[in-house]
């Protein structure tokens, strides 16, 4: 009974904190939840600071040595959910404490606005395409817990955070990290760009790139020469080579 309570608790927390934080962060024109009344300049640096808190948390939690240490403390089926919970707490901090930085620097109208909106829609479609190509995408880490609840024991393949095979289909033949590429496009696809939004888009884009490089260390560890060959053929984020025949 205690195991089932823990399973359901992790699932609920992953959905509420992990999923809820994404909704709050992506909420366009969201209200200021904790108004501090600072100047635009001070608010800008504050937003950068709280973003760095999320970057630090995410970068630490995603590393293989950290996951290995956690495996000695919590059951493997909770690995993904625990990551979603901790990342959700950090991202919710960013969303709740984010401060306004003044009016827009520019407002696009007409064809430029339509182009930006189209780019955002294409990015959403590309993100969905990438998830479909993965087939085992589990953003909140719920799948291994559901398996445990259904079967009473978690298969070994569900415990490890590593994938069984390198995905080289769909958008993964264009770029190595299509989901990250789509997130970057969405961040920049704002027809009413404020100074705060501009700085954060640049900051988060840079962090995504660094995070992709760090993630590739684990992929090299998992797939070895197979991933090295893939990395030589397919660009990391920008599909400048077009669709690569692997």
Taking only the tens place, the pLDDT of each residue in 123-176 is 999 999 999 998 888 989 999 999 999 876 544 444 444 445 788 899 999 999
Judged on CB neighbours under 10 Å (0-12, 13-18, 19+), 31 is exposed
| C-alpha dihedral, 210 to 240 to 123 to 79, nearest 10° | -40
- pLDDT of 178 > 70? The answer is yes
- Give the span between the Cα atoms of 143 and 20, in whole angstroms: 18
Q: How confident is the model at residue 1 (pLDDT cuts 50, 70, 90)?
A: low
Structure token pair of residue 62: 């995603």
| C-alpha dihedral, 211 to 216 to 222 to 223, nearest 10° | 150
- Give the span between the Cα atoms of 231 and 225, in whole angstroms: 10
- Give the span between the Cα atoms of 15 and 243, in whole angstroms: 35
Residues 35-64 pLDDT 10s: 998 999 999 999 999 999 999 888 787 777
Residues 77-124 pLDDT 10s: 998 899 999 999 999 999 999 999 888 889 999 999 999 999 999 999
- Give the span between the Cα atoms of 74 and 179, in whole angstroms: 28
E strand residue ranges, 115-199: 192-194
Q: How confident is the model at residue 66 (pLDDT cuts 50, 70, 90)?
A: confident
What was the pLDDT predicted at 161? 41
């Amino acid at each position: 009974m205690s195991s089932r309570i823990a399973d359901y608790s992790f699932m609920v927390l992953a959905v509420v904190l992990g999923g809820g934080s994404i909704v709050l962060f992506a909420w366009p024109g969201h209200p200021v939840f904790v108004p501090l009344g600072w100047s635009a300049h001070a608010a800008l640096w504050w937003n950068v600071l709280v973003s760095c808190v999320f970057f630090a948390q995410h970068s630490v939690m995603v590393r293989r040595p950290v996951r290995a240490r956690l495996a000695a403390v919590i059951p493997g089926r909770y690995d993904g959910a625990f990551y979603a919970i901790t990342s959700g707490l950090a991202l919710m901090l960013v969303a709740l404490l984010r401060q306004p930085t003044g009016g827009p620097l520019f407002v696009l109208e007409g064809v430029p606005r339509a182009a930006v909106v189209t780019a955002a829609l294409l990015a959403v479609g590309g993100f969905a395409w990438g998830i479909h190509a993965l087939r085992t995408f589990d953003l909140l880490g719920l799948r291994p817990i559901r398996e445990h609840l259904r079967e009473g024991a978690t298969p070994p393949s569900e415990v490890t955070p590593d994938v069984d095979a390198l995905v080289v289909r769909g958008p993964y033949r264009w770029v190595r990290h299509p989901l990250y590429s789509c997130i970057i496009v969405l961040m920049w696809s704002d027809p009413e760009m404020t100074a705060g939004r501009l700085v954060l888009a640049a900051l988060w884009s840079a962090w995504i790139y660094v995070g992709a490089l760090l993630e590739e260390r684990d992929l090299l560890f998992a797939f070895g020469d197979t991933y090295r060959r893939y990395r030589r053929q397919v660009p990391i984020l920008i599909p400048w080579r077009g669709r690569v025949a692997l």
